[in-house]
Amino acid sequence: MEELVGLREGSSGNPVALRELWSPCPRLRRGIRGGLEWLKQKLFRVGEDWYFLMTLGVLMALISYAMNFALGRVVRAHKWLYREIGDSHLLRYLSWTVYPVALVSFSSGFSQSITPFSGGSGIPELKTILSGVVLENYLDIKNFGAKVVGLSCTLATGSTLFLGKVGPFVHLSVMIAAYLGRVRTKTIGEAENKSKQNEMLVAGAAVGVATVFAAPFSGVLFCIEVMSSHFSVWDYWRGFFAATCGAFMFRLLAVFNSEQETITSLYKTSFPVDVPFDLPEIFFFVLLGAICGVASCAYLYCQRTFLAFTKTNKLISKLMATSKPLYAALAATVLASITYPPGVGRFMASRLSMREHLDTLFDNHSWALLTRNSSPPWPAEPDPQHLWWEWYHPRFTIFGTLAFFLVMKFWMLILATTIPMPAGYFLPIFIIGAAIGRLLGEALSVAFPEGIVAGGVINPIMPGGYALAGAAAFSGAVTHSISTALLAFELTGQIVHALPVLMAVLAANAIAQSCQPSFYDGTIMVKKLPYLPWIRGRPINSHRVIVEHFMRRAISTLARDAALEQVVKVLTSTDEAEYPLVESTESQLLVGIVQRAQLVQALQAEAPARASGQQRCLQDILAGGCPTEPVTLTLSPETSLHQAHNLFELLNLRSLYVTSKGRAVVYVSWVERQHTGF
Amino acid sequence: MEELVGLREGSSGNPVALRELWSPCPRLRRGIRGGLEWLKQKLFRVGEDWYFLMTLGVLMALISYAMNFALGRVVRAHKWLYREIGDSHLLRYLSWTVYPVALVSFSSGFSQSITPFSGGSGIPELKTILSGVVLENYLDIKNFGAKVVGLSCTLATGSTLFLGKVGPFVHLSVMIAAYLGRVRTKTIGEAENKSKQNEMLVAGAAVGVATVFAAPFSGVLFCIEVMSSHFSVWDYWRGFFAATCGAFMFRLLAVFNSEQETITSLYKTSFPVDVPFDLPEIFFFVLLGAICGVASCAYLYCQRTFLAFTKTNKLISKLMATSKPLYAALAATVLASITYPPGVGRFMASRLSMREHLDTLFDNHSWALLTRNSSPPWPAEPDPQHLWWEWYHPRFTIFGTLAFFLVMKFWMLILATTIPMPAGYFLPIFIIGAAIGRLLGEALSVAFPEGIVAGGVINPIMPGGYALAGAAAFSGAVTHSISTALLAFELTGQIVHALPVLMAVLAANAIAQSCQPSFYDGTIMVKKLPYLPWIRGRPINSHRVIVEHFMRRAISTLARDAALEQVVKVLTSTDEAEYPLVESTESQLLVGIVQRAQLVQALQAEAPARASGQQRCLQDILAGGCPTEPVTLTLSPETSLHQAHNLFELLNLRSLYVTSKGRAVVYVSWVERQHTGF
């Protein structure tokens, strides 16, 4: 069409005709131009969001890599200081402890002074936001700085504090996603749209995990499992796209910085591919899953109890209220003193970084067998070739150190989670799980030193495989997710243990899910954030419960023909944020919703008219400028509990109106559904 | 409490007291008994479904394995016959072709004679069922036999027909799931519950994929992507559980049958782990993805067009209507003649089974480099040590055979999909994708024979990696799913190519999704099954469309006070399955739904009373025993298109009522939403 218009202009006006003459092959050129136009439109149509998702992934990868790079330098400086400071025990102790204590108290003080939201991992709050609750300012870009600086300080303490970066990275990534979403709506000039916003946030969460672990698959799945109970395949595709961009960029930077030859996984293992495990070992893998499940229940219970204790104990809560940095410093002193290498730290491999912990635990040799006849020395420095020697002690052997590591880290991690500063708790849990698995694996390799003979070939038992399964099972049980199994494979670059690891994770989840709420749900409960309880898998008779059984009957409606005095009376006697508007006091037919704030404003503007003694009713106010919103969806009293629950989950709603024969009889919201006891 | 009752009885009656004396440590015993009781309750509570899911997984694994085992024998017998029949070309040709022709015509005739539903893969129909449409008898257990026998015959033809088993297995598995679901509801004595049924079907679909490929992760994800647009994390967990049971059992049987030492993946590869690919190769991987995307568009277009052609062409449609086995036999003759090894089959490695095709294509050597100086002989039998020699021809080289294979298989697969018999189309597509990747990989290995030098080490290019990426990208593009990347890793047991494969799949999907409907959606369209169009990613202004713009205004309501004559008039003039019941003709307040069938029945029972001349209205009929159902959910005319679409998808509904001020004004259903053009 455009071309036709151009031609007609060309035949009437001279300059265009001249141009036509000058350019050869007008048809071909037109064809090419049309093709390009089509391509542009196509790209732009598909594009829109995709560009933003790509930007999100690349940005987060840059931030993640830059943080890793800077932290590597800082940690190296600390190690250098500790090494060079001389042999005096006091000096060495001070150099070991003062550094993390200073960092932690700064991290806590700085981030808390800017915003109180920046503490913790942020995932529980994000879960609440994605379920439809508005947490004011939680995703403001100004919190970004506080979280980045605080997190950097936390991570710079290395393995003394033993904390990770997944949770805060998810939060950071969602903040950027929310910001980009706002930019997008502004550039397009589109009205704010809630479902579009949520799509962006879900993708952001996936990018957060993917840029920390370079694991796009498990990043997306982990976020979905942890954050929501329903999701659309559309969100999942967008998440994949953004996560892949992020993970690729993150690993690309490592290649550019000559850290590695090519793009590979983060914690590469080298398990033999042919016979990685023998069939009877499956039993031990499932047993390991069960052990991890029980351990996770114990951990979740203790963690929640201790967190509640710090809120109720007078001394601690006073300390928390007045000077958070002091509490942080005290806790950090305890943690750093215990990990002091020449002291107790000797028995828990505290000279290794968290990355080295994982690398050594996934090692495919059996340490117990290797150290059976010869005992390796304890070098002044961890030997890069034999990092696992750190786990060995001549008197306590491998088993002693692993068990001691587990017992100590168990309560140390619980203590660390109470410090109010940005920190992730996933990686430490993953490492603890790996240590549980390693312990079982080493025990098995000693119990069956010949390995399990199958088909005439002797296959030694690999404790590394158990460490992998333990890490996936324990972290899966604590977070109530199954995708940690996939994360374990993506992290190590090998998937030979697919079935045993998956079975261990399922066993651990079966125990944990039936006994304890997940780490994130537990935190939501302790922090008293609103949440929607889980009703699937509850007794069968819950299917018979209908809305009528639990709806709130006493609601205040505003009739269009009500006198203003009546309206004011309703407004002053209740404090709802919105009121259902009905046709008339008599008919009670639901016609819309009025926001309290807007109604109050309209009433105030009306005040002079009222003073003049005129008898006016609500309808006049509404006609005079107070907007009403339509009720897009109503339930009936016969709707089942499950159906109502589904609607709340899918549409991220917090309340719905129930009508019977058109009458706005009642109202259901989250609180009511909790009262039903299902 | 029970124990207390027991004690009281014990103190009053003698025998119980005696028993108490005889048994030592009553407290301990009571404690243990209580604990066991608790465990039993716990297990039973969690159990319920889980036992059924486990049964489902184990059953399907047994069927899958038994089928593989039997087919292996049959295929071996065919090979033996072909080998031993002598050197006469005619006899050899007949032994090669008659066998598949007979099997295919039997498969087609047998399965079609029992039920016409049993043809094809079944996934398009399942997708329709899961979106809420009722297809009568489609999941009846009596179809099971037809599908199993038909599929066995199809698969027994080996690589001459080049068809797989994924789709039919998903169908079989869903049939068993539906059957088990019915058993469950009967044993528990619970009323039929639609959401519970759907949960079971989704798990069944996942089990189907998992028991074919022994890949639980991708089984679950692939089903979700292909079958639905929304899903709940709860379904995903159940799917994982069932799929893991199935995959474990499937591989366990292989170990028990001494086929392998331990549980490993199906198509084990041995790519080097350290530098599997070099950074610049990422570009070629993405290019491969784009090529696969374009190829998939061509394939989907041709496939849909040819399928439509067979339905419109008079000759073929007449043949199809009168004698399907004849059509099947004709098509099979063409396919078998082309693959005859001493003929054209020589150039397309037709002596290899489909399993061997994949095994050779994933080989980690470069055939082009290996055959550069020496040309391997063409053995009388495929050499088990050098199966890939089948791909080589001295004159055409590797490239010629691979290209010829692609061109021929492209149209041969399209022809094979038109044969009305149970067959899966996923595996052939996967293999064609692998061949595309291999072709590019071999070309690159010739173009850069030194490999790409990085960090002083020479890394040869591995065409096997490209084959992996090509398989995932092409099958992902054809089915519009991303989880095929994960499937490639689970099948090969290696995940070293994680990022490049994922990027290729994303590139292929970006092209395919923006140009063509997926294989399954295309089949749904050609078969004219009902479906819900996809509205995400459509123009932004679709967010402004509200229900009022597309709702159906002319609906027939039945008023409670309507005279029976009026009711009969409405019933005879329209043919809806259900009618909205309103309070009165005047008020039109929606109060419930009446089923047409039940109303007609009640009216017939009422006929004598009517004959007596009494003036009765609808209300009397309803009071006399015709049940009404409540309307659990209503929309308002202001609900947005997206919100309505979400509801239809999540709740698997086909229609909803729209009320305005309580009045049953209109009705929205699938058809209306298609008319909006969004």
Cβ neighbourhood burial of B344 (10 Å; 0-12, 13-18, 19+):
middle
Of A183, A192, A191, nearest in space to A134 by CA:
A192
Q: Reply yes or no on whether the pLDDT at B507 is more than 90.
A: yes
Q: What percent of chain A lies above the pLDDT cut of 70?
A: 86
CB contact A266 to B (< 8 Å): no
Residue type, A212: V
- To probe the interface with A, which of B193, B482, B641, B652 has the most A CB atoms within 10 Å? B482
Residue type, B329: A
Cα–chain-centroid distance for residue B310? 24
Work out the minimum CA distance from A143 to partner chain B, whole angstroms. 31
Enumerate residues 6+ apart whose C-beta is below 8 A from B314: none
For the CA atoms of B221, B222, B224, B228, the dihedral, rounded to the nearest 10 degrees, stands at 160
Q: What percent of chain B lies above the pLDDT cut of 70?
A: 86
For the CA atoms of B623, B626, B631, B636, the dihedral, rounded to the nearest 10 degrees, stands at -80
Cβ neighbourhood burial of B456 (10 Å; 0-12, 13-18, 19+):
exposed
Residue B125 marked as a ligand binder: no
Q: Reply yes or no on whether the pLDDT at A414 is more than 90.
A: yes
- Which chain A positions have a beta carbon within 8 Å of B484's beta carbon? none
Find residues 53-72 of chain B whose CB sits inside 8 Å of chain A.
none
- Residue B509 — φ and ψ, nearest 5°? -65, -40
Of B621, B594, B592, nearest in space to B605 by CA:
B621
- pLDDT by residue (tens digit) across B368-386? 888 887 777 777 788 888 8
Whether A509 sits inside 8 A of B237 (CB atoms) is: yes
Average pLDDT over every residue of B86-114:
90
Work out the minimum CA distance from B248 to partner chain A, whole angstroms. 7
Could you write out the DSSP letters of every residue in B295-331? HHHHHHHHHHHHHHHHHH-HHHHHHHHH-HHHHHHHH
CB contact B463 to A (< 8 Å): no
Q: How many CB atoms lie within 10 A of CB A597?
A: 10
Average pLDDT over every residue of A245-273:
85
Angle at CA of residue B576, ends B573 and B582, nearest 5°: 90
- A507 versus B260: the higher-pLDDT residue is A507
Residue B259 marked as a ligand binder: yes
Work out the minimum CA distance from B495 to partner chain A, whole angstroms. 5
Q: What percent of chain A lies above the pLDDT cut of 90?
A: 36
d(CA B10, CA B7): 5
Cα–chain-centroid distance for residue A623? 46
Q: Reply yes or no on whether the pLDDT at B401 is more than 90.
A: yes
Q: Which letter does DSSP use for residue B482 in this model?
A: S
Average pLDDT over every residue of A69-88:
89
CB contact A189 to B (< 8 Å): no
Per-residue confidence (pLDDT) for residue A474, from 0 to 100: 97
- pLDDT by residue (tens digit) across A81-119? 988 888 888 999 999 999 999 999 999 999 888 887 778
Determine the longest span between alpha carbons in chain B, in angstroms.
104
B471 neighbors B431 (Cβ within 8 angstroms):
yes
For residue A608, name the pLDDT band (cuts at 50, 70, 90).
Answer: low
Per-residue confidence (pLDDT) for residue B587, from 0 to 100: 74
- Which chain B positions have a beta carbon within 8 Å of A503's beta carbon? 244, 248
- Which chain A positions have a beta carbon within 8 Å of B482's beta carbon? 237, 240
- A626 versus B48: the higher-pLDDT residue is A626
- Which chain A positions have a beta carbon within 8 Å of B636's beta carbon? 630-634
Per-residue confidence (pLDDT) for residue B261, from 0 to 100: 74
Of B676, B537, B147, nearest in space to A232 by CA:
B537
For residue A664, name the pLDDT band (cuts at 50, 70, 90).
Answer: low
- B676 versus B354: the higher-pLDDT residue is B354
Q: Which helix (H) or strand (E) holds A557?
A: none
Q: Where are the alpha helices (DSSP H) in B631-669?
A: 641-651
A238 neighbors A244 (Cβ within 8 angstroms):
no
CB contact A663 to B (< 8 Å): yes
Average pLDDT over every residue of B545-564:
73
- pLDDT by residue (tens digit) across A435-472? 999 999 999 999 988 877 666 677 788 999 999 999 99
Residue A269 token pair: 């293992």
Domain with CATH 1.10.3080.10 in chain A: 46-256, 281-526
Domain with CATH 1.10.3080.10 in chain B: 50-256, 282-313+341-526
Work out the minimum CA distance from A635 to partner chain B, whole angstroms. 5
**How many Cβ pairs within 8 Å bridge chains A and B?**
264
As separate numbers, helices (DSSP H) first and strands (DSSP E) second, chain A gives 26, 9
Q: Where are the alpha helices (DSSP H) in B49-165?
A: 49-84, 89-114, 123-130, 142-156
Instruction: Name which of B229, B233, B590 is nearest A232 (Cβ-Cβ).
Output: B229
Superfamily of domain B50-256: Clc chloride channel (1.10.3080.10)
Per-residue confidence (pLDDT) for residue A46, from 0 to 100: 46
d(CA A647, CA B534): 20
- pLDDT by residue (tens digit) across B408-437? 999 999 999 999 899 999 999 999 999 999
- Among the CATH numbers 1.20.5.510, 3.90.120.10, 1.10.3080.10, 3.40.50.620, which is that of A281-526? 1.10.3080.10
- Give me the residue label for tokens 């550094």: A99
Question: Which residue in A has a C-alpha nearest to residue B496's C-alpha?
Answer: A493
d(CA A189, CA A187): 5
> Would you call A134 helix, strand, or coil by DSSP?
coil
Enumerate residues 6+ apart whose C-beta is below 8 A from B236: A225, A482, B220, B224
Whether B190 sits inside 8 A of A509 (CB atoms) is: no
Long-range pairs, B451-457, Cβ under 8 A, ≥24: B451/B278, B452/B278, B452/B280, B452/B281, B454/A261, B454/A262, B454/B275, B454/B278, B454/B279, B455/A261, B457/A261, B457/B275
- To probe the interface with A, which of B632, B645, B652 has the most A CB atoms within 10 Å? B632
Work out the minimum CA distance from A632 to partner chain B, whole angstroms. 5
A512 neighbors A478 (Cβ within 8 angstroms):
yes
Residue A649 marked as a ligand binder: no
Enumerate residues 6+ apart whose C-beta is below 8 A from A641: A535, A542, A543, A545, A546, A547, A549, A550, A673, A676, A678
* CATH architecture of the region B540-675: Roll (3.10)
Residue B261 marked as a ligand binder: yes
CB contact A364 to B (< 8 Å): no
Which of B5-9, B256-260, B481-485, B555-559 has the least mean pLDDT? B5-9
Q: How many CB atoms lie within 10 A of CB A296?
A: 31
Enumerate residues 6+ apart whose C-beta is below 8 A from A265: A214, A490, A491, A492, A493, B495, B496, B498
Average pLDDT over every residue of B146-158:
90
d(CA A237, CA A221): 11
A106-117: b (≥16 Cβ within 10 Å) or e: bbbbbbbebbeb
Whether A46 sits inside 8 A of B188 (CB atoms) is: no
Work out the minimum CA distance from A79 to partner chain B, whole angstroms. 29
- To probe the interface with B, which of A187, A237, A547, A657 has the most B CB atoms within 10 Å? A237
Query: If you average pLDDT over every residue of chain A, what do you get?
Result: 83
Of A50, A62, A66, A57, nearest in space to A246 by CA:
A57
Which of A148-152, A318-322, B238-242 has the least mean pLDDT? A318-322
Q: Strand pairing partners for B581?
A: B558, B592
Cβ neighbourhood burial of B422 (10 Å; 0-12, 13-18, 19+):
buried
Instruction: Name which of B229, B503, B639 is nearest A633 (Cβ-Cβ).
Output: B639
Which of A224-228, B84-88, B89-93, B656-660 has the least mean pLDDT? B656-660
Domain with CATH 3.10.580.10 in chain A: 540-675
Q: Reply yes or no on whether the pLDDT at A237 is more than 80.
A: yes
Average pLDDT over every residue of A531-558:
65
Residue type, A143: N
Question: Which residue in A has a C-alpha nearest to residue B214's C-alpha?
Answer: A499
d(CA A286, CA A288): 5
Question: Sheet harboring B590-595: ordered strands across?
Answer: B558-559, B578-582, B590-595
Q: Reply yes or no on whether the pLDDT at B1 is more than 90.
A: no
- Residue A189 — φ and ψ, nearest 5°? 80, 25
The CATH topology of domain A46-256 is Clc chloride channel (1.10.3080)
Whether B274 sits inside 8 A of A261 (CB atoms) is: yes
Interface predicted TM-score of the whole assembly (ipTM), two decimals = 0.86
Angle at CA of residue B25, ends B19 and B29, nearest 5°: 80
- In B160-272, where do the E strands start and end? 230-232
Which of A166-180, A645-659, B333-347, B409-423 has the least mean pLDDT? A645-659
Q: Reply yes or no on whether the pLDDT at A273 is more than 90.
A: no
Top-confidence range, A116-120, A421-425, B672-676: A421-425
- To probe the interface with B, which of A130, A267, A273, A660 has the most B CB atoms within 10 Å? A273
Residue B144 token pair: 């099971």
Instruction: Name which of B262, B514, B662 is nearest A42 (Cβ-Cβ).
Output: B514
Whether B230 sits inside 8 A of A230 (CB atoms) is: yes
Q: Strand pairing partners for B20?
A: none
Query: If you average pLDDT over every residue of chain B, what do you get?
Result: 83
- Residue B668 — φ and ψ, nearest 5°? -120, 140
Q: Reply yes or no on whether the pLDDT at A397 is more than 90.
A: no
Q: Strand pairing partners for B578?
A: B595
B204 neighbors B184 (Cβ within 8 angstroms):
no
For residue B8, name the pLDDT band (cuts at 50, 70, 90).
Answer: very low
Whether B496 sits inside 8 A of A493 (CB atoms) is: yes
Work out the minimum CA distance from A561 to partner chain B, whole angstroms. 15
Residue B550 token pair: 């597309």
Instruction: Name which of B229, B457, B663 is nearest A662 (Cβ-Cβ).
Output: B663
Could you tell me the CA-to-CA distances from B133 to B251, B518, B594 in Å, in that order?
Answer: 35, 20, 19
Whether B499 sits inside 8 A of A216 (CB atoms) is: yes
Whether A651 sits inside 8 A of B651 (CB atoms) is: no
Could you tell me the CA-to-CA distances from A50 to A60, A237, A238, B233, B422 in Å, in that order?
Answer: 15, 11, 8, 25, 39
Total residue length of chain B: 678
Instruction: Name which of B482, B634, B640 is nearest A634 (Cβ-Cβ).
Output: B634
A590-595 and A578-582 as β-strands: parallel, antiparallel, unpaired?
Answer: antiparallel
The CATH topology of domain B282-313+341-526 is Clc chloride channel (1.10.3080)
Average pLDDT over every residue of B499-526:
92
Instruction: Name which of B273, B591, B662 is nearest A268 (Cβ-Cβ).
Output: B273
CB contact A484 to B (< 8 Å): no
Residue A284 marked as a ligand binder: no
Of B542, B540, B541, B470, nearest in space to B503 by CA:
B470
Of A628, A639, A626, nearest in space to A665 by CA:
A639
Per-residue confidence (pLDDT) for residue A491, from 0 to 100: 92
- pLDDT by residue (tens digit) across A12-55? 445 555 555 556 677 888 888 888 887 777 666 544 678 889 99
- How far the first Cα of chain A sits from its last, in Å, is 63
